């Protein structure tokens, strides 16, 4: 009997193990995933699915990864699993048009030879070990494109990079983008054969290096009298002192149906830096100045004050003020989701953009045939306009003008409809132009689309990326969504709109909106108290000067009783105001600390409390039954 029970127990255990093994085998082949992130960061986006749904030819994705290599770092192996998992999502969503092939390029294997032939970069983790490979090739017919190496630091753009790789081979034609600017160096400097190898060649701004990957980027001279017919989208950056001939070329480009992206600026930091460098090199700078499209804007009903910049306490950026001090600068705008139009495809998924010293765009209501759509705006309650000259010298110079007026300022807008020419008789002749050529034929009006940014510095590397040295070389890591905003605009104007929905995915790092609101509130109080102190100081100085004028001779060297009383009263006011400023700072700190304490309690105590409550409720229910 005992032997029978033992035998039955062994059989039952074997059957249980067999069932567990079978269940594990079945579940391992099922793609069961749950994306619990608020922004669905690990789910294939609708933009990628839309592109995959339009594929007419088969695309093969060849994934090369040295999984079996002992040289492969564990962190990179984990990321490789994530990449391969995402590639399987592409294969499923492609419905037969996407074939995924995975290769492990072992040393001296055919897979390694093909990886090198395709351009997958070998990475030497160990100087004395074998190289590793971690890249992707996309093949469609005779078209081939490659991601030479995946980088965990670029995880935020992983899906975009893969989807863009597919579009490059499925639709290999590159649209032509024109670039016209009053600044130098946007596309970098040409290779200099005399340059020492150790010196790094200037490759231009990251924003335009990215554009080159998907478009044919053609530089248009700032004095061009015509935009080439094959240019469908024109990007104009800081058009400072553009001649009437150049403005006529831009005008005619728009009225004949071209799409224009223009970045004007009341004060360009990059222009100032460039001018300083030119002066240092004894080349003679052209002078720092604002940029606008002049009479072209006037015809379109656009008002752009080149002498003012937008200041917004709600979007103030912490800057180094020297001597170890950090200053909140409201003219250096860090704009969050509340400043971006949520219903617009360009900004729907963006979280933060940075506009240093931006201007304000206004539209003359009733301008015939055109529609003005704001895309980015300042806050309503905490913004105002300040002189651009004062803004250059920091908060102390702006303080007297920092009076919010309850009006939101438009920092970027889209203009659509029927555009009329600003040059019905053609451009006026420049001074010294004695040519007798007939005036050019003028296109009077036509449908077009224009995107206007009231800042140009937001595209410069200093304000949108930081260069990071990695195993895969130096890469530009985004600091904010500036590059995404610009790329979205160009893609909507010249590329495939579906890519916007892929690039503009949510980010895992979110701004502390509540803390930012508390700081903006405290900054407003601080500025009010500082203004009171400044006014009291000026009033005291004025009274002291009046008392000083009443004295004569040797009396001027001595302080009168009235002057001593005035100084004592001012010192009393100064001490009282400083005390109030200190209380404002304490109030801010206490509110932020209280918020942090509440969050810590929720994060640490909530789950254990829920478990305890669940256990008590379950125990009580069992007792009652």
Q: What is the pLDDT of residues 331-387, one digit of tens each?
A: 999 999 899 988 777 887 788 999 999 999 999 988 889 999 999 999 999 999 999
Position 508 pLDDT exceeds 50: no
Return the structure tokens found at 511: 């701004």
* Residues 586-596 pLDDT 10s: 665 666 566 66
State the pLDDT confidence band at 451, using cuts at 50, 70 and 90: very high
Return the structure tokens found at 423: 């040059």
Position 434 pLDDT exceeds 90: no
The pLDDT score that the predictor gives to residue 365 is 86
DSSP letters, 297-334, are HHHHTEEE-TTEEEEEGGG-EEEEEETTEEEEETTEEE
* Residues 217-264 pLDDT 10s: 999 999 999 999 999 899 999 999 999 999 999 999 999 999 999 999
The answer to whether 265 and 455 have CB atoms below 8 angstroms apart is yes
Euclidean distance between CA atoms 523 and 525, whole angstroms = 5
CA 390 vs CA 329, 455, 526: distances in Å: 12, 17, 19
Residues 465-494 have a mean pLDDT of 82
The pLDDT score that the predictor gives to residue 526 is 56
* Residues 150-197 pLDDT 10s: 988 777 778 888 998 999 899 988 899 999 999 988 987 655 544 444
At the fourth CATH level, the homologous superfamily of domain 46-163 is Glutaredoxin (3.40.30.10)
The answer to whether 297 and 304 have CB atoms below 8 angstroms apart is yes
Q: What are the counts of helices (DSSP H) followed by strands (DSSP E) for the chain?
A: 15, 21
The pLDDT score that the predictor gives to residue 380 is 92
The pLDDT score that the predictor gives to residue 285 is 45
Q: Which uninterrupted H or E stretch holds 465? A: strand 465-470
The pLDDT score that the predictor gives to residue 283 is 46
The beta-strand segments (E) located in 176-252 are 176-181, 216-219, 233-237
The pLDDT score that the predictor gives to residue 117 is 93
The pLDDT score that the predictor gives to residue 160 is 84
The residue ranges of every structural domain in the chain are 46-163, 173-189+203-305+357-377+405-424+442-511, 516-549+559-596
The answer to whether 360 and 305 have CB atoms below 8 angstroms apart is yes
Q: Which of 76-85, 117-126, 390-399, 521-530 comes out lowest in average pLDDT?
A: 521-530
Residues 556-579 have a mean pLDDT of 65
Instruction: Assign 364 to helix, strand or coil.
Output: coil
Percent of the chain with pLDDT over 70: 72
Residue 571: CB atoms within 10 Å: 11
The pLDDT score that the predictor gives to residue 284 is 44
For the chain, the C-alpha Rg in angstroms (whole number) is 32
State the pLDDT confidence band at 431, using cuts at 50, 70 and 90: low
């Amino acid at each position: 009997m005992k032997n029978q029970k033992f035998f039955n127990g062994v059989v039952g255990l074997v059957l249980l193990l067999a069932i567990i093994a079978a269940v594990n085998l079945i579940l391992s082949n099922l793609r069961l995933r749950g994306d619990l992130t608020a922004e669905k960061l690990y789910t294939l986006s609708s933009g990628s699915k839309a592109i995959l749904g339009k594929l007419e030819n088969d695309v093969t994705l060849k994934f090369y990864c040295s999984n079996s290599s002992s040289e492969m770092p564990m962190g990179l192996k984990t990321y490789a699993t994530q990449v391969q998992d995402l590639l399987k999502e592409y294969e499923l969503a492609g419905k037969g048009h996407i074939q995924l092939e995975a290769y492990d390029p072992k040393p001296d294997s055919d897979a390694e030879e093909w990886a090198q032939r395709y351009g997958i970069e070998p990475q030497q983790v160990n100087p004395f070990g074998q190289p590793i490979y971690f890249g992707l090739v996309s093949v469609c017919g005779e078209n081939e494109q490659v991601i030479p190496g995946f980088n965990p630091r670029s995880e935020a753009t992983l899906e975009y990079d893969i989807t863009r790789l597919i579009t490059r081979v499925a639709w290999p034609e590159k649209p032509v983008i024109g670039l016209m600017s009053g600044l130098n160096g946007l596309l970098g400097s040409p290779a200099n054969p005399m340059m020492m190898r150790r010196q790094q060649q200037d490759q231009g701004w990251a924003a335009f290096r990215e554009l080159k990957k998907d478009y044919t980027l053609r530089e248009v001279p700032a004095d061009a009298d015509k935009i080439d017919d094959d240019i469908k989208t024109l990007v104009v950056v800081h058009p400072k002192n553009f001649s009437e001939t150049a403005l006529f070329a831009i005008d005619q480009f728009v009225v004949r149906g071209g799409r224009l992206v223009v970045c004007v600026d009341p004060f360009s930091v990059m222009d100032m830096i460039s001018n300083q460098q030119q002066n240092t090199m004894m080349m003679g700078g052209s002078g720092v100045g604002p940029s606008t499209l002049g009479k072209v804007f006037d015809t379109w009903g656009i008002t752009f004050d080149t002498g003012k910049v937008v200041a917004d306490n709600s979007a103030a950026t912490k800057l180094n003020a020297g001597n170890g001090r950090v200053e909140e600068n409201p003219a250096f705008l860090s704009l969050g989701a509340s400043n971006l139009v949520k219903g617009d495809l360009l900004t729907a998924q963006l979280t933060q953009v940075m506009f240093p010293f931006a201007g304000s765009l206004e539209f003359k209501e009733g301008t015939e045939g055109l529609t003005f759509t704001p895309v980015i705006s300042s806050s309503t309650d905490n913004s105002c306009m300040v002189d651009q000259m004062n803004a250059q010298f920091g908060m102390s110079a702006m303080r007297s003008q920092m009076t919010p007026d309850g009006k939101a300022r438009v920092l970027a807008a889209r203009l659509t409809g029927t555009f009329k020419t600003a040059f019905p008789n053609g451009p006026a002749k420049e001074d010294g132009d004695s040519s007798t050529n007939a005036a050019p034929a003028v296109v009077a009006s036509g449908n077009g689309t224009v995107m206007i940014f009231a800042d140009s510095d937001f595209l410069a590397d200093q304000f949108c990326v930081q260069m990071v040295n990695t195993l895969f070389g130096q890469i530009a890591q985004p600091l904010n969504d500036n590059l995404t905003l610009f790329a979205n605009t160009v893609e909507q104007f010249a590329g495939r709109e579906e890519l916007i929905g892929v690039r503009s995915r949510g980010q895992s790092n979110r701004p502390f909106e509540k803390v930012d609101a508390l700081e903006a509130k405290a900054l407003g109080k601080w500025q009010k108290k500082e203004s009171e102190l400044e006014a009291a100081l000026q009033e005291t100085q004025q009274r002291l000067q009046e008392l000083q004028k009443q004295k004569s001779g040797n009396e001027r060297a001595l302080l009168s009783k009235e002057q001593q009383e005035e100084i004592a009263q001012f010192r009393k006011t100064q001490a009282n105001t400083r005390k109030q400023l200190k209380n404002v700072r304490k109030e801010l700190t206490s509110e932020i600390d209280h918020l942090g304490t509440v969050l810590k309690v929720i994060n640490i105590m909530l789950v254990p409390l829920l478990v305890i409550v669940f256990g008590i409720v379950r125990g009580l229910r069992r007792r009652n039954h």
